[in-house]
Structure 1
Amino acid sequence: MIIAFSVKNKLGFVDGSIPKPDNSDPNLLTSWKRNNNIVISWILNSVSKEISASIIFADSAVDIWQDLKDRFQQSNGPRIFQLRSELINHRQGQSSVSVYFTKLKTIWEKLNNLIPQFVCGSCCEGIKKLELHHQMDYALAFLMGLNEFFFQVRSQILLIDPLPPINKVFSMIIQEERQRQIGTPTYSPDGLAFAVKGEPIKGEPTRVSSDNVGSAFRGKPRFNVRNYPRERPFCSACNMHGHTLDTCYKIHGYPPGFKPRPPRNHFSTQTHLVNLASSQLNSPEAETAAIDSNNEHFFQGLNKNQYG
C-alpha cells in the first residue's frame, strides 16, 4: 500500500507529513479533505469488512493508519525464521536454473526487507565489507541448492577470490546449463518408439544384431508341425486307428510274408492279443480243435464198464 500511496503522491496523508490546514484558507482545507477521503476509501477497500467497521468513523487517514499499525504490527522473528528455513531447504530438483534462481531471489528479497538497513556514507569501509559479505551469502545460498551435475563449475566459482556477485554467478551457471543441453543428444518420440520396438527408423540403415533378433522373437511361439493336430484314419471293422476300411487286412487278407509289428504299449498289446485270439477262435480250425478237446475230456471221465 505504501507503494500505491507513493505513486499517487498521497503518502504524506498516512505518515503525517501533510497535516490538516487551518480554516484561514478554505480552498486549501477543501482540497485536503478531498484527498484525505480518497486515501481513507483506499484503505477501507483494502481491509476486510470486520476491520473496516472499526475504522470507518475515523476523521483522518493518518489516524486510521496508526490504529492499524498498533493493532496488527507484529514481531519479525517468526517470519524471519520461516524465510530462513525456506532458504536453507530450497533445492533445484527438477526445475531449471532460471526457475530455481527466481524463487530463491524472491525468498532472499523478503528476508532482506525484514533486516535493518544501515545508511552511511560511501566512504565507510565497514559498510562496504558488510555488503560484500551479504552478497557472498547470497551467492553461496544459490550454489548450495544446485544439482550435483553442476559440481565442476561450482568448484571453479568457489575458487574465485573474491566471490563474484550473484548475477555473475547466475550467468555462469546458466551458460553451463545451455552447454549441457547442446552437448546432450536429443531423440524424437517416434525414434524412441521405433528403437524400443526394434523397428528401423526412417532414413537410417537397418541394423541386425543378436539382441534385436532375440527381442523380436522373444515371447512368440515357434512354428512346429506337431502343434497342428491332423485327423488320423480310422477303421470301423476292427475299431483301430492307422488305416481305413478299404485297406483293412482282416477283411481283404494279410499280404504274403506279413509280420505284425511289436506292440507300442501295454494297452495296444492287450488289444492286439484280444483281436488275435478272437480271430483264431472264429476260424474253422479252432472250432474243430475245440470239439476234439471236449470229446477227449468226456471219454477220460468214463470207467471201463461205461466205456464198453
Structure 2
Amino acid sequence: MAETTFHGERHSATSIEAESSSLEASVEDMVTQGGDSSHMSFQLTSHRLNGKKYLEWAQSVKLAIDGSGKLGHMTGETIKPEVGDPKMNAWRSDNSLVIAWLINSMDTVIGKSYIFLPTARDVWEAVRETYSYVENASQIFELKIKLWQAKQDKREVTAYYNEMVSLWQELDQCYHDECDCPADSVKTRKGEENEKAYLFLAGLNRDFDEFRSPILGKNPLPSIRETLSEIRREESRGKVMLKPYLNLELKPVVDASALATVKNEDDKKKRPWCDHCKKYWHTRETCWKIHGKPPNTKKKEVDNRCFRSQHGEAFQTTYFDQGQQPSPETSPFTREQLELLQKLLQSPQF
C-alpha cells in the first residue's frame, strides 16, 4: 500500500513537471512564432531580467508594452470582465499576450517562477516585489555617491550635465511614493530642483567660480535647465575672449625673438670667416697662420685699439652716460643684452 502511494506521488510529481515543461514550451513557441502579425515584436527590449538592473528592465518593458496599448493589463487599469461578458475573450487573449511578453524578457530560470500566475498584473507585481525592493536601498546609495562625486574635469559643461541628468533619472525610478497634496507636490519638486542645481554647480571647474555666486544669489533659485543655460553662455563667452587675449600676449615676445634671431644671422653673414683657423674677421687669403704677419702689424694693432676705444667710448657716451638707453618698448634687446654688447665693444679681442 505504501509502495503504491509512493508510486502515485512520483507519478503526480512527474505529471506536474511535464505540464510545466509543456506550458513553458507553449509560451516560448507563442513568443517566437508571434501569431497575429498585428502584434508588436515579441522581443520587447535588449534588457533582460537576470536578477540585476531591475530598474532598467522595468522601464524598458513598460515603455514597450505601453506602445502596444496594453499597459493597463500590467497596472490593473484594464479590469477583467465578468464571466459571460462578450469582452472576456479579447481580455483573456491580451492578458496572455502580455504575460508571454514579460516571461520572454526574463532569463529562463527566472521566468519559470511566474508562468502559472493568472494575470499580467500578478506577474508584474511579483517581479517588482522580488527584485526592486531587494536592490532599492543599495541602488539609491550607489546613485547618490555617483552624484556627490561627479565633476566636470576636462569635459565640456554639456557632457557633464548629461551625466548628471542620467543619474537623476535613474534615481527617480527608485522612488514610488506619490504625494496626494498638490501644494506639497509642488514644494517637493522645487526642493528637488534646488538640490540638482546645488550639485551641478558644485561639480563645475574653478573657471566658473565667479559665476556661481550670482546664480546662488537669485531668489528663487533658477531651475537646473536655466542654470545650465547661464553656465553655457559663460563658457562660450570665455572661449571667444580667451583666444585673442592669448594672441596679443604672445605676439610681442615672438616678434622680438624672431628679430634678435634674424639680426644674429645677419651679423654672422657680414663678418669675414677663415675656414683654416676657424676665426672671424679675416679670410684664408689673409690668415697669418698661413701667410705670416705683415711688416706693419704693430702699427695696425695700435690703430685698431684706438678705433675700438673711440667707438666704444662713443657708444657708451651715446647710450649709457647720457641716459639715452633704448626702452624695452622700442628696442628688441633687453637691458642685459645691451650691457653685454657694451662689454664686447670694450674687449681687447674685438
1:171 to 229, 241, 245: 229
- Alignment pair present for 1:135 and 2:185: no
- Alignment pair present for 1:70 and 2:126: no
Q: Partner of 1:91 in structure 2?
A: 151
Report the 3-state secondary structure (helix = DSSP H, G, I; strand = E; otherwise coil) of the residue aligned with 1:73.
helix
Return closer, same or farther for 1:109/1:212 CA change in 2, 3 Å cut-off: farther
1:106-158 Cα distance to aligned partner (Å, 9 max, x none): 1122223334342313xx3x554443332221111110000111111112212
CA distance in 2, matches of 1:153, 1:133: 22
Return closer, same or farther for 1:223/1:100 CA change in 2, 3 Å cut-off: farther
Q: Partner of 2:64 in structure 1?
A: 4
- Alignment pair present for 1:31 and 2:90: yes
Report the 3-state secondary structure (helix = DSSP H, G, I; strand = E; otherwise coil) of the residue aligned with 1:94.
coil
Letter in 2 for 1:112: D
Deviation, structure 1 residue 214: 8.5
Return closer, same or farther for 1:17/1:159 CA change in 2, 3 Å cut-off: closer
Q: Partner of 1:304 in structure 2?
A: none
CA distance in 1, matches of 2:264, 2:154: 36
- Alignment pair present for 1:103 and 2:163: yes
Q: Partner of 1:209 in structure 2?
A: 259
Letter in 2 for 1:70: E
1:157-198 Cα distance to aligned partner (Å, 9 max, x none): 122233222211111100001111111228xxxxxxxx9xx9
Q: How many residues align?
A: 204
- Alignment pair present for 1:144 and 2:182: no
Give TM-score scaled by structure 2 length.
0.50
Report the 3-state secondary structure (helix = DSSP H, G, I; strand = E; otherwise coil) of the residue aligned with 1:209.
helix
- Structure 2 unaligned blocks of 5 or more: 1-60, 245-250, 266-272, 279-350
- Alignment pair present for 1:46 and 2:79: no
1:6-50 Cα distance to aligned partner (Å, 9 max, x none): 33221222233334434423x422212221122122112211121
Q: Which moved more, 1:130-139 or 1:40-49?
A: 130-139
CA distance in 2, matches of 1:223, 1:77: 87
1:243-298 Cα distance to aligned partner (Å, 9 max, x none): xxxxxxxxxxxxxxxxxxxxxxxxxxxxxxxxxxxxxxxxxxxxxxxxxxxxxxxx
Matches within 5 A, 1:228-267: none
CA distance in 1, matches of 2:83, 2:234: 69
Q: Which moved more, 1:49-58 or 1:126-135?
A: 126-135
CA distance in 1, matches of 2:208, 2:189: 27
CA distance in 2, matches of 1:127, 1:223: 94
Return closer, same or farther for 1:172/1:57 CA change in 2, 3 Å cut-off: same
* Structure with greater Cα Rg: 1
Deviation, structure 1 residue 99: 0.8
CA distance in 2, matches of 1:223, 1:22: 117
CA distance in 2, matches of 1:78, 1:140: 23
- Alignment pair present for 1:120 and 2:175: no
Return closer, same or farther for 1:12/1:212 CA change in 2, 3 Å cut-off: farther
CA distance in 1, matches of 2:199, 2:110: 40
Return closer, same or farther for 1:165/1:47 CA change in 2, 3 Å cut-off: same
Letter in 2 for 1:55: Y
Letter in 2 for 1:64: V
1:66-89 Cα distance to aligned partner (Å, 9 max, x none): 332332232422111111111110
Letter in 2 for 1:36: N
Instruction: Identify which of structures 1 and 2 has the higher relative contact order when contacts are C-alpha pairs closer than 8 Å and 6+ apart.
Output: 2
Deviation, structure 1 residue 52: 2.1
Return closer, same or farther for 1:127/1:70 CA change in 2, 3 Å cut-off: closer
Give TM-score scaled by structure 1 length.
0.57
CA distance in 1, matches of 2:159, 2:274: 57
- Over the aligned positions, Cα root-mean-square deviation in angstroms equals 3.4
- Structure 1 unaligned blocks of 5 or more: 187-194, 199-204, 216-221, 228-308
Letter in 1 for 2:197: A
Which structure: greater helix fraction? 2
Q: Partner of 1:180 in structure 2?
A: 238
